[in-house]
Amino acid sequence: MNDGTDEEGKLILALDVGGTKIAGSVLRFSSGHMPELIRLVQEPTQAQEGGLAVLQRIVEFSCELLGRIDREVMGIGIGAAGVIALDGSIESATSLMPGWSGMPLGPALRAATGKTVSVVGDVHAHALGEAHWGAGRDVSSMLLVAVGTGIGGAMVLGGHVLHGAHNVGGHIGHVCHPDARRIRCSCGRYGHVEPIASGLGIERCYHKLSGKDARGDRIAEMARNGDNDAQSAVLMAGRALGNTLGMQANMLDPEMIVLSGSVCGAGELWLDAVRQGYQDQVIDALSDIPIVPGTLGAQAPILGAAVPLAQYLGLIEGDEGTAVEKDPICVIS
């Protein structure tokens, strides 16, 4: 056992806690390189068992992973579903994780392991991963938009997420789009872009056009094979998302827009529609901002989960010249 600072690189345990699975890996940090994932493992979240059972599973999972490493691990960086409170507990969560709201995630891991712990939201973690080592590694500002069942987002500036005053910044799915006027959003309001541009939006639109039900990935496949209704559903969703990206770019002026999430699997047809919708709304000065898919895939959230802690420990740097806010906001040490 040593202090984790020898020439083999410094170690952090990174966890990605989602509604369906808990993934964990020890990351090895060597200066100037993307951290190396050592023994990525995962298990089902079993969210239906309730928040306390999930929390207990995460603690046991973490202790087991730490027990397998014969060198000192410097801390635990977590990316978790839900809105994260400033003390590292879960402020609120969707119905996908019943009872998850209020769980003392960070404090419980700190108490169980004695390690320094940081907690960040899952979309924020995803964005940090892509910003540091993925599509955004060469730019200083980046808007990440994750399009799956719902739509999430995060603005990264100088290597730090723009968390906002309440840790809720980046909820790009909950801005208005005229085509969504009479459609109820997952937040309970009407007129937000999420229910028309998300995976569920594609499914809803396809049903309306064809009278048939199909899952989003199947609709994407049918669209690629030339099905008119499937193509229309994918195009309308992509266009609506692009409109929203254009309007947000007008506000934020990111150097790059990075797209991730399962809907990206709809491919070029969807991506072209997103770019066209973007051009319809963006002001001329910002028409050249690249809109690109993420490059890290499923590794983005687990790599990003470690970023706030790695910054706190001095293992990686943010660009202090442009940072408006320093991570981590909820390190417990």
Q: Is 29 helix (H, G, I), strand (E, B) or coil?
A: strand
Site for Zn ion in 139-178 (CB under 5 A): 174
d(CA 271, CA 143): 16
Site for Zn ion in 189-208 (CB under 5 A): 192
* C-beta of 177 vs 192, nearer to Zn ion: 192
The residue number with the shortest CB distance to Zn ion is: 185
Task: Based on the shown chain and the rule CB under 5 A, indicate whether residue 329 belongs to the binding site for Zn ion.
Answer: no
Give least dist CB 219 to Zn ion, A. Answer: 22
d(CA 258, CA 255): 10
Task: Based on the shown chain and the rule CB under 5 A, indicate whether residue 316 belongs to the binding site for Zn ion.
Answer: no
Give least dist CB 252 to Zn ion, A. Answer: 19
Give least dist CB 189 to Zn ion, A. Answer: 5
* C-beta of 164 vs 290, nearer to Zn ion: 164
* Location of structure tokens 């990440």: 144
d(CA 8, CA 26): 13
Q: What is the largest CA-CA distance in the chain?
A: 63
Task: Based on the shown chain and the rule CB under 5 A, indicate whether residue 185 belongs to the binding site for Zn ion.
Answer: yes
- Among 40, 69, 96, 187, indicate the residue that binds Zn ion (CB under 5 A): 187
Give least dist CB 176 to Zn ion, A. Answer: 9
- 302 touches 23 (CB < 8 A): yes
Residues binding Zn ion: number (CB under 5 A): 4
Give least dist CB 275 to Zn ion, A. Answer: 24
Return all residues near 122 (Cβ < 8 A) that are at least 6 apart.
16, 17, 18, 79, 80, 81, 82, 152, 301
* C-beta of 10 vs 192, nearer to Zn ion: 192
At residue 23, what are phi and psi to the nearest 5 degrees?
-115, 145
Q: Which residues bind Zn ion (CB under 5 A)?
A: 174, 185, 187, 192
